[in-house]
């Protein structure tokens, strides 16, 4: 299982990808799953075990996660 994080813009998603990657969290851009809502852009896939830490980093950096869902794989 993974967490898929959705963002309000591609810009925010890339800021998040760079931030989390720099902090040692494995991040994989994926097509935004439909379960995230009406998003046509990208989402970021991270390990469930990293999600709490990732959310804390993103919040501290002012990058808002607009939606999240759990996925099996992609």
Partner 1 sequence: MSTPSSTQGHAGDASSGPAATTIYLDHGATSWPKPTPVVDAVHEALTVYGGNPGRGAYRLAMATTRLIHESRRDVAAFLGVPHSRDLLFQPGCTEAMNLVLRGLLSPGDRVVACSMEHNAVARPLHALAALGVELVVVQADDTGTVDADEVERAVAEAPTRAVVCQHASNLTGAIQPVADLGDIAHGHGALLLVDGAQAGGHLDIDLSTLGADAWACSGHKGLLGPQGIGVVYLSAEVDPTPLVLGGTGGGSSESEGAPTVRPDRYEAGTPNTPGIAGLGAAARYLAVHAAEQRVTERRLVRKLHEGILEIGGFRVLGPEPTEVRVPVLAITHERIDADRLAFALDRNHGIAARAGLHCAPWAHRTLGTIDTGALRFGVGFGNTDQHIDAVLDALAALTRELS
| β-pairing verdict for 42-47 and 65-71 | unpaired
Question: CA-to-CA distance for 62 and 42, rounded, in angstroms?
Answer: 19
Q: How far are the Cα atoms of 4, 38, 40, 56 from residue 47, in angstroms, in the given order?
A: 9, 23, 22, 15
Q: What is the footprint of partner 1 within residues 3-22 (CB under 8 A)? A: 7-15
Q: What is the footprint of partner 1 within residues 31-60 (CB under 8 A)? A: 31-32, 37-43
Stretch binding partner 1 (CB under 8 A), from 1-9, 19-27, 46-54: 1-9
Comparing CB distances to partner 1, the nearer of 33 and 55 is 33
Which residues lie near partner 1 (CB under 8 A)?
7-15, 29-32, 37-43
């Amino acid at each position: 299982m993974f967490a898929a994080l959705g963002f309000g813009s591609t810009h925010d998603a890339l800021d998040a990808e760079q931030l989390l990657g720099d902090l040692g969290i494995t991040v994989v851009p994926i097509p935004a799953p439909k379960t995230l809502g009406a998003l046509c852009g990208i989402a970021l896939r991270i390990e469930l075990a990293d999600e709490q830490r990732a959310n804390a980093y993103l919040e501290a950096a002012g990058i808002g996660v607009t939606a999240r869902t759990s996925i099996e794989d992609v």
